[in-house]
Chain A
Amino acid sequence: MLPLISFRAIAPGMALAATACLLLLLDLLPTRGRKDHLAVVGLAGVVLSMILSLGLWGSDERAFNGMVRLDGFALFFNLVIGFATGLVLLLSIDYLRRQGMESGEFYILVLFSAVGMTLMAGAGDLIVIFLGLEVMSLSLYVLAGWFEGRLEAGEASMKYFLLGAFASGFFLYGIALIFGATGSTNLDRIAVAVAGGAARDPLLIIGFGLLVAGFGFKISSVPFHMWTADVYQGAPTSVTALIATGSKAAAFAALLRVLLSALRTVQPDWAVLFWGLAVLSMTAGNVVALAQQNIKRMLAYSSIAHAGYILVGVVAGGALGGGGVLFYLLVYTFTTAGAFGVILLLERDGREAVAVSDLAGLATRHPVLALTFSVFLLSLVGIPPTAGFVGKFYLFGAAVRTGYVWLAVIGVVNSAIAAYYYLRLIVFMYMREPEGSPTVLVPSLPAGLALAVALWGVVQLGVLPAPFLDLAQAAVIPLLR
């Protein structure tokens, strides 16, 4: 029987994929090495995809024999992914040219990875999640090593690839075992089988464990985080931003969907597991971040810690926890993309300024940029009225409401620890004088635009979070039905 072929259901992803293919053709036009137009076209595709997502808001359907789901959850994540991709495209334009690594394939691969992310967000079947994961990862593996000729770039790419493929192996074996236990890879049918008693089957339990290992890698939660710092440091800063925001969001989307729609009936069982992962990630991430002297590495460990915070919402589950996760991912996307965007604009002695000490005295020479960076950092700490505060508030609030008080407490303590290393950056910017030649700002219109968008997001979500929170919670509802 032919499945229901619904282009509606895959419209946002199709828009991205079509744009990527269009870029492939456009890349062939002779343009004397300038590739800006590709980024602009790519951006248009991203915007189109986001508009389509908004236009489809409220639909809830299944297509292709349950392989694809079109629901608020998928659409919300399409928006998050759209923001992440769009910001990264904007940030990359001048940055790549500055590094002498401009090439049409970069933008194409960014879009390819975005397609993979939307696939993961809207997947109704484990095999689609797996394929989406691979589309995303393969593109990111290449992008991570984009700065060819730099040792750390190659190492980042290779480490990312080897560990990523290793994680895929676990993920796949997990799928195989779940298929064995339930006779299907479709999330709905798995849910039926789980409700029907397959939950106690060791096959399912082990399979699910392996699946979590695969997800854990992508969300960089401890103990699957080994790659994070190296890749964040070695990859081009704009790619780092994509890995930190889009790929993490997509992985959380798939994880959340599996947990909430297929395994909701056994929530107490997996909640314990994620409780442990959340605590480990938060604590380990923050503690190690304290010792970092490289801003990109520091942000990498911060991202591990944030994976822990988000996992708190996963543990809480339900509309409240799920909604908190979605909202926080949106916040985190703006904040992190913004923070990496600031770093990417700084140069010292003709190389990227990524050391903490490079920030010294930034406030006196570039007050606007320093202020922007401070806002992003404060949001990462979670200080009102930034978006980070609201996000954390709802995550920990959901945990408290569902009875995980200790988890919330650990989260808050961790936030306090984290404040130290974020604020240290602000201290450097405002209270230290630079040694040697000062760090300079490389002006770039597209990147400025990206920073403005990110800043708007952080402030908007911090000051007027309510409509977005409602949206996030509404998005989770379909999963819980």
Chain B
Amino acid sequence: MDPEARKVIEMGYGGAERLTMNMGPQHPSAHGVFRAILTLQGETVVGMDAVIGYLHRCHEKLGETLTYTQYPSIASKTDYVAAMSSELAYVRAAELLGKIEVPKRAQYLRVLVGELQRIASHCVWLGTWCMDMGGALGGGATVFLYCIREREMVLDLFEALVGARLLYGFHQVGGTRYDLPAGWVQTCRETVDFIDRRIGEWEDMLEDNDFFLARARGVGVISRELAQEIGISGPLIRASGVNYDIRRAEPYSSYEDFDFKVPVETAGDCYARYRVRMVEFRESSKIVRQVLDGLPAGPISSRPGVKSVGQVRIPKGEAYARVEGPRGEVGCYLVADGSAKPYRMKWRGASFSNLAVLPHIIPGHKVADVVAIMGSVDPVFGEVDR
């Protein structure tokens, strides 16, 4: 928005008068339980304090009390919107530590669910972000409902695969726990094709909409330098002009087998983040198709299926594994002591690091932009507070 229009507001709202406003933890756009203490000068935010921890569940301590067999299902609960990525990070850390080979089919299956999860997670992001900007009683809700409808289709796929819709426990150390049921591949292809078309519809609906552009363009700019200093990752850093994607930079789980593009935008604003994610939607479905085409036969796990909770023992040592989740780098750090449980575990949540950028970019924006920026960061508080 041009600076002239901003001035109108500043004039109207009593200049030096500052108002402290509490946004959250109980707030429609707190994305769970985020609390932002905003200092307002009129409508303009001049300062922001972020308070987190309202959803702390001792996840890392929990990790020390549960075995390598048990924990993958719990890992789902850190980032409950993208449970597959967290599970993968955990089991990969364990596999690195135990030098456990993973069969090719399992690797492909992991990529498959990972990318489907990315689609589902981005659906939630787009819906909630639009709802933040457009209101539960307006166009935002319409987009939200569309997105949720498509996400449901992905969740249906997961349900057919695992039996659960949100927290899966699909991965296990050495591979996956489940193989594809009959007919699943066909349904999956249809779903992905269908969602691809729908993404086009959303883009038409949003990108031809001046109001949407006005709210997204030039808002919440994260400069390249800031992005690297804060250490944000995922779509955020790619929207700020840094070509960094773990799938590319440090391929895991056979990602090197697939042909996909890493979208990079340079503007660093909400719209750039939106564009990056919209391209990722399509790239994910591209990967999904490649996986389905080239899915090798073979075992789905190098280790036997789950029979008892203590069956996996990892030798002494420590390892850090990271995967590219929908929100960025999801890392898991494990210290093993040779028993069936890790001695110490630590999560590196993408949302947590991404959220740290907010106090740097929000001051100077209007109150309405705060929620737009928050939404574009796409935090999931299960992962932030753990």
A adjacent to B, CB under 8 Å = no
Chain A residues within CB distance 8 Å of chain B: none
